[in-house]
Structure 1
Amino acid sequence: MTTKWKQFDLSPSILEALEKLSYTSPTEVQEQVIPALKSGKDLMAKAQTGSGKTAAYAIPICDQVEWEENKPQALVITPTRELADQVRLDALAIGRFKRLKAAALFGRQPFAKQKLELKQKTHIIAGTPGRLLDHLEKGTFDPSKLKYVIIDEADELFNRGFVEQVEAIMAFMPKTRVTALFSATFSKEVESLASKWLKTPERFEIASENKVEDLIQHFYMQTDEKQKFELLKQVTMSENPDTCMVFCRTQDRTDELTERLDRAGYSCDKIHGGMVQDERFDVMNEFKRGDFRYLIATDIAARGIDVANVSLVINYDLPLELPAYTHRSGRTGRAGNSGKVVSFVETGREEHRLDSIREYTNANLVELSAMPSADIGAFWAKMDEQQERKTAAIEKVSEDILKIYINGGKQKKLRAGDFVGTITAIDGVTADDIGIITIEPTCSFIEIHNGKGHHVIKALKETTIKGKKLKVYPAKK
């Protein structure tokens, strides 16, 4: 582990996770935010996408929360469900060896299931304003032990009209707390919100080593609606990216384009707001793993989603809102990598929108009249080629951890203490080998650390838990 992380006086379990996650050295935003949060100071930070912002607050939070406390100690308020779930996964990965549990609360998911999860030990919560407020008002989320409140992507919370809900949430928060606000811009609205919620905050405006305009090349091509699909094929075949995102304006357009590309032989899938949440998560996870190369999306995937090595973004349709161009472009050029954005502009109809984008972003949009000739054989060879599997962060810190399934839960009146007592009675197993325990109505899941999972399964098959003989085997999820 590099000494650069040791300067923050992090606990050994956090340092171990950072090493497994290949966090070689802190980014600029992490250099500034981690010490401030650890020292208990309120702060507001402006940082570009891909700067390591989530880890900047997740690392000190995971370091500071107490494992023994059952009630949530940190809350992260996000504008989207996808970002809430990504924060949950990042917190789980960073806090893996400290055995921390994180939950994501958002709409279109069963309230009762979330209520059950909140009754169990949960250290960190990430969620969207509406569902968070529901739990607070109904008393299913107890905020009394919260030490940290993070307001992530404050500008987007404002843009989406969530400010009143966030203000209602803040009214439930303990007066003694650390509050941090992160935003892509410090607009007048964001400054106004910060003045209400933060106490004499430290301010950080992160100047990236590599400016976004240096990392991302912006191009546009004049076309008409009838020629767009053929132009898309020309661009993708010429560029032949490993991973690409194509943005459409509507759900119907996304469905239609995905079908056409699929019929044409492209390795692709889609994501938009009309899909059920679990399906959206499945698609994003498959894209992150490299199961397919082209993701066709509406603006739902344009913000807060971190996918490694997206080298090309195509605006099949120009966005209706100017900030969306920045957020779409931000899917490439992340973490110091270069990227390219190509936008299709309908001749005679959209030049004014292009001018507005150029003025808003100050980006150097260069017109392309034609694409370089493509190596068609190389394009289709890559399309048929299995991508190198990208390892998810949580997998990197789970090599010696096995989640086991037990067919007994709340309905059989089983509690965490029953499992801990039985498992620690197994020869060679201690409480330090037991990770997150999740008890559902009819079953339970227990994470066993340090490579002892199969040993525990074998022993549990030969004993009883609270006098009950239960089925035990490796969990499928």
Structure 2
Amino acid sequence: MKKFSDFHLSKNIEKAIHNLGFEEATPIQAEAIPIAMTGKDLIGQAQTGTGKTTAFGIPLIERVELSEEAIQGIVLAPTRELAIQVAEELNRIGQVKGVKTLPIYGGQDINRQIKALKKRPHIISATPGRLMDHMKRRTIRLNHIRTAVLDEADEMLNMGFIEDIQTILGGISSPHQTLLFSATMSKQVQSLAQKFMNTPELVQVKAKQLTVKNIEQQYVEIPENRKFDVLCNLVDLQSPDLAIVFGRTKKRVDELAEGLKKRGYAAEGIHGDLTQSKRADVIRQFKEHTIEIMVATDVAARGLDITGVSHVYNFDIPQDPESYVHRIGRTGRAGTKGLAVTFITPRERHHLKVIEDVTKTKMSRQSPPTSSEVMAGHQEAVIHRVLTAIEKGEFGEYKPMAEKLLEEMDSVTLLSATLKLLTKESNMAPVQLTEVAPLRNKKVRPERKRGRGRKETVGRKKNYRK
């Protein structure tokens, strides 16, 4: 498995990657980054959730010249959500070097975008329709582009953006590198590549399959408002060495981490809005076992190389099967066994079925633990600690006191009282989480682009492929 230190990156990029906690490269990153760094055109065939943004982001940012105050890179994405997500990740990778990425998308006030463009960003992450609007207004010029990226090209073509993409790529007047990423290689995608790319190299990464046999996979079906209490009960019952809890949003991660701390757990959260030093500190504490639970978003946990994670809890079911595979792959490493538990609400059964179908696996259904089961778990943990201490002989100095107490009362009463004091009592301090709507199966309502009738959707179109 390649590490980012193998790519001979510039010091600024290497520091940014280190600050983000990325160590181990995903397959698409391992294959695409060395090729793209040479300046060659590249086609990457990979699914969502495989680390594509970092795969094209590192070469893209490496090529930016800070002395040149012009837009030097563009990334085209099918939806505003993806355009924003890409911009966020590129800003994290480019932070140390000082490379700024601006998201440009429909639905946001264009005058606000024009004002932001006057601050001279180096890279634009855009939806095709809104980029075309700026090109017509001459508020974005493509005469200094060094790298052009098409992200999820098949989705953009399916949504009717072919003419816009051709106009945009045809409007780049400077010599440049083109990087195209697509989950499928349709005839349209191949035709686009032939027309606008110069002998591109093809990198294909198959959708991840669940080949890890060391991970036991379970799910618990419960209402949204019961999930946090059930999570605490499971942690108490299962006593993980190290656990990662995945939440869907940054706000969710913050609330979960604070709630767990309120209940007495050693927990911290990581997501994209944290400072680099804070993020690195949380990862260090987790690796050193100073904290036992790390709460994370998908993006924040990508590329982390942490051994010893015994449990993964999907507090929110992931958006797609690839993200699920990535999440649970944090455990069951180096021949050790791991447990992955996914929480679903009754309306999310379809998403669970999709994940099972695509990953060719079957999760076992578990009932939420009862309070008596949790108490029994606490008692077993105490007994285990006592027996371990006896085996190690770590009690010699306490013998005289024990003998004195046994003269005053019977051994069963004495031991029962001792076990009671040692047994952890459930902390049910009230914790309020902002309710998150369950994932829906319906297609997101499209927003019509003015004057052209093509579509630019608010959310990401989900198209699960086997």
Instruction: Name the TM tier (shorter chain).
Output: 0.5 to 0.7
Q: How many Å apart are 1:313 and its aligned residue?
A: 3.5
What stretches of structure 1 of length at least 5 have no aligned partner?
A: 248-257, 268-282, 296-300, 387-477
- Find the aligned partners of 1:385 and 1:74 in 2 and give their Cα distance: 43
User: Which residue matches 2:239?
Assistant: none
- Find the aligned partners of 1:355 and 1:10 in 2 and give their Cα distance: 41
Contact 2:46 2:183 in 1 (8 A): yes
Summarize the alignment of residues 78-117 of structure 1 with structure 2, pairs less than 5 Å apart.
78-117=77-116
Pick from 243, 246, 249 the counterpart of residue 245 of structure 2. 243
- Find the aligned partners of 2:314 and 2:142 in 1 and give their Cα distance: 40
User: Which residue matches 2:342?
Assistant: 341
Amino acid corresponding to residue 58 of structure 1 in structure 2 = G
Amino acid corresponding to residue 31 of structure 1 in structure 2 = A
Contact 2:145 2:174 in 1 (8 A): no
Contact 2:50 2:322 in 1 (8 A): no
- What secondary structure sits across from 1:98 in the alignment? coil
Pick from 348, 367, 379 the counterpart of residue 370 of structure 1. 367
Q: CA RMSD in A?
A: 4.7
- Find the aligned partners of 2:112 and 2:209 in 1 and give their Cα distance: 43
User: Which residue matches 2:299?
Assistant: 306
- Find the aligned partners of 1:218 and 1:193 in 2 and give their Cα distance: 41
Change (3 A) 1:87 1:378: farther
Summarize the alignment of residues 53-64 of structure 1 with structure 2, pairs less than 5 Å apart.
53-64=52-63
Summarize the alignment of residues 160-239 of structure 1 with structure 2, pairs less than 5 Å apart.
160-174=159-173, 176-186=175-185, 190-206=189-205, 211-212=209-210, 214=212, 219=218, 228=223, 236-239=231-234
User: Which residue matches 1:151?
Assistant: 150
1:68 paired to 2:67: yes
- Find the aligned partners of 1:189 and 1:380 in 2 and give their Cα distance: 58
- What secondary structure sits across from 1:365 in the alignment? coil
What stretches of structure 2 of length at least 5 have no aligned partner?
A: 236-242, 261-270, 283-293, 303-310, 376-423, 434-466
Q: How many Å apart are 1:55 and its aligned residue?
A: 2.0
- Find the aligned partners of 1:152 and 1:4 in 2 and give their Cα distance: 24
- Find the aligned partners of 1:284 and 1:7 in 2 and give their Cα distance: 24
Deviations 1:157-179 (A, max 9, x none): 34555445434433323373211
User: Which residue matches 1:140?
Assistant: 139
Deviations 1:287-312 (A, max 9, x none): x989xx999xxxxx9xxx61438943
Contact 2:245 2:314 in 1 (8 A): no
- Find the aligned partners of 2:425 and 2:163 in 1 and give their Cα distance: 53
Q: How many Å apart are 1:152 and its aligned residue?
A: 1.6
Q: How many Å apart are 1:112 and its aligned residue?
A: 1.6
- What secondary structure sits across from 1:35 in the alignment? helix
User: Which residue matches 1:17?
Assistant: 16
- Find the aligned partners of 1:218 and 1:197 in 2 and give their Cα distance: 45
Q: How many Å apart are 1:146 and its aligned residue?
A: 0.7
- What secondary structure sits across from 1:306 in the alignment? helix
User: Which residue matches 1:395?
Assistant: none
- What secondary structure sits across from 1:40 in the alignment? coil
Change (3 A) 1:313 1:383: farther
Q: How many Å apart are 1:148 and its aligned residue?
A: 0.7
- Find the aligned partners of 2:430 and 2:105 in 1 and give their Cα distance: 36
Q: How many Å apart are 1:142 and its aligned residue?
A: 0.5
Change (3 A) 1:380 1:294: farther
Q: How many Å apart are 1:207 and its aligned residue?
A: 5.7
Change (3 A) 1:28 1:139: same
Q: How many Å apart are 1:81 and its aligned residue?
A: 3.3
User: Which residue matches 1:326?
Assistant: 321
Amino acid corresponding to residue 332 of structure 1 in structure 2 = R
Structure 1 length as normaliser, TM-score? 0.54
Q: Which has the higher contact order (CA 8 A, sep 6+)?
A: 2
Q: How many Å apart are 1:355 and its aligned residue?
A: 6.4
Contact 2:128 2:165 in 1 (8 A): yes
Q: How many Å apart are 1:236 and its aligned residue?
A: 3.9
Deviations 1:156-211 (A, max 9, x none): 43455544543443332337321112234445554454444433321112368x84
Change (3 A) 1:65 1:8: same
Q: How many Å apart are 1:143 and its aligned residue?
A: 0.8
Q: How many Å apart are 1:41 and its aligned residue?
A: 1.3
- Find the aligned partners of 1:185 and 1:191 in 2 and give their Cα distance: 10
Change (3 A) 1:219 1:154: farther
Amino acid corresponding to residue 17 of structure 1 in structure 2 = A
Amino acid corresponding to residue 40 of structure 1 in structure 2 = G
Q: How many Å apart are 1:233 and its aligned residue?
A: 6.6
